Structure 1
Amino acid sequence: MQAIGLIETRGLTPAVEALDAMCKAANVRLLDFKRVGSGLVTVIVEGDVAAVTAAVEAGGSSYRQTGGQLIATNVIPRPHPDLARMLL
């Protein structure tokens, strides 16, 4: 795994919209969709570092246009294998 990208949002529908923008913007693959609680949803994608970075930027930008509450975004290049196992 070369990189992991995460976007945390409030609400499922905006998270799906962000995921759609991420997958259209770059060659990334959905790893997981976590419902954290209290309406928080985290989308986790993987791919090479440049693609994940572009995807997270596109997903965050798409979500901001909806006027929703974007909680956090993060790109983790070359994640430790234990971290990858924890996220899955």
Structure 2
Amino acid sequence: MKAIGLIETRGLTAAIEALDSMAKAANVSLVDLKRVGSGLVTVIIEGDVAAVAAAVEVGKTAHTMTGGELVSANVIPRPHSELRKIL
């Protein structure tokens, strides 16, 4: 079962920079990029647990290259099947 990683930033440019860095750092795939509102953007990735954890760690610092703000980051190792329905 794949893990899910989430990075939420304030600003689209910071989210794209984080996604680019995460994709280059580990074997992960983009699930979705959600614009939440008030400038908040959430990037959702998936892959095996180690790859997602490594990618999220890289993404947590990558947003700083654009001057963006990291709001939150999380890794869900074995998401429940019901969670996938909302993603």
Query: Where on the TM-score scale, by shorter chain, does this alignment land: which range?
Result: over 0.9
Q: Which amino acid aligns with 2:13?
A: T
Q: Which amino acid aligns with 2:18?
A: A
Aligned to 2:78: 78
| 1:9 has 2:9 as partner | yes
Q: Do 2:33 and 2:41's aligned partners in 1 also have CA atoms closer than 8 Å? A: yes
TM-superposition CA deviations, 1:5-58 (whole Å, max 9, x none):
000000001100000000000000000000000000000000000000000000
* Aligned-residue offset at 1:65: 4.3
* Aligned-residue offset at 1:67: 3.5
Q: Do 2:17 and 2:66's aligned partners in 1 also have CA atoms closer than 8 Å? A: no
Farther-moved stretch of structure 1 (63-72 vs 24-33): 63-72
Aligned to 2:52: 52
Q: Which amino acid aligns with 2:17?
A: E
Which runs of 5 or more structure 1 residues have no equivalent in the other structure? Answer: none
- Secondary structure at the counterpart of residue 68 of structure 2: coil
Q: How does 1:26-37 map to 2 (within 5 A)?
A: 26-37=26-37
- Secondary structure at the counterpart of residue 52 of structure 1: helix
Count of residues in Structure 1 that have an aligned counterpart in Structure 2:
87
Which runs of 5 or more structure 2 residues have no equivalent in the other structure? Answer: none
* Aligned-residue offset at 1:66: 3.8
- Secondary structure at the counterpart of residue 74 of structure 1: strand
Q: Which amino acid aligns with 1:47?
A: G
